[in-house]
Amino acid sequence: MYKITLLWQEENQWLYQTITSNEVTKNSRIIRIGREPSLCDIVIKDTTKTVSPLHAGICFDLTTNTFYLNNLTQNFSQPNPILVDGKKIIVQKAPLRIGSQIFLGKKLLKVKTIKVKKQLPPVTINPSIYGIKCQCGNILPYSYLELFCPFCGRTIQSGQIQILKSSSKLQ
């Protein structure tokens, strides 16, 4: 579980946006930043167009409990560099902390808050005994690897673990 808040200025007004691990982003597990609303989770208005339509991505690394910023223009013939805490970022990723300053073109973004709740270690489960019960009531075998229930289309990430009968199959 995480939460990150970015702060920036547009037209002499400070704006901020908070993204949490519970929110659905445009691209799974990446908070995308740029000018284009259809591509980005955090949209920066920039009439000078020094910010790319899809400029940067922030990822959360579960193993280190750290946010990292990636330059999403790195594969362009002329990448649009990013400065993070004074370091130029093109190919490498940059760790973020509270107070980090991010320059996308001429726009300054600041990391206002970061909150991370450490996850409990994974539980070992015997897949032949357990299944996942969707909110619609159908029980899916634990080996089912899709994110959505094939019966109702809901996400099964919040499903309950159920003990299966020995003859249980995908209902």
Spell out the per-residue pLDDT of the chain, length 171, in tens: 899 999 999 988 999 999 998 888 988 789 999 999 999 999 999 988 999 999 999 999 988 889 999 999 999 999 998 999 999 999 999 999 999 999 999 999 999 999 998 766 666 656 567 788 888 888 888 777 788 888 777 888 777 777 776 544 444
Q: Do 127 and 145 meet the contact criterion of CB atoms below 8 Å apart?
A: no
Query: What local confidence, expressed as pLDDT, does residue 17 receive?
Result: 96
Give the max Cα distance, the chain: 65
Question: Residue 37 carries which side chain, given as an amino acid letter?
Answer: P
Q: Which two tokens stand for residue 89?
A: 């970022």
pLDDT score for 147: 80
Host H or E run for residue 112: strand 107-116
What is the distance between the alpha carbons of residues 7 and 46, in angstroms, rounded to a whole number? 15
Instruction: Please give the helix or strand (H or E) that residue 140 lies within, else none.
Output: strand 139-141
pLDDT score for 125: 55
39 neighbors 55 (Cβ within 8 angstroms): no
For residues 171 and 139, the answer to whether their CB atoms sit within 8 Å is: yes
What is the rounded distance in angstroms from the CA atom of residue 57 to the CA atom of residue 79?
A: 14
Handedness of CA 51, 34, 88, 114 (dihedral sign): positive
Query: In this structure, what token pair is assigned to residue 39?
Result: 């591509």
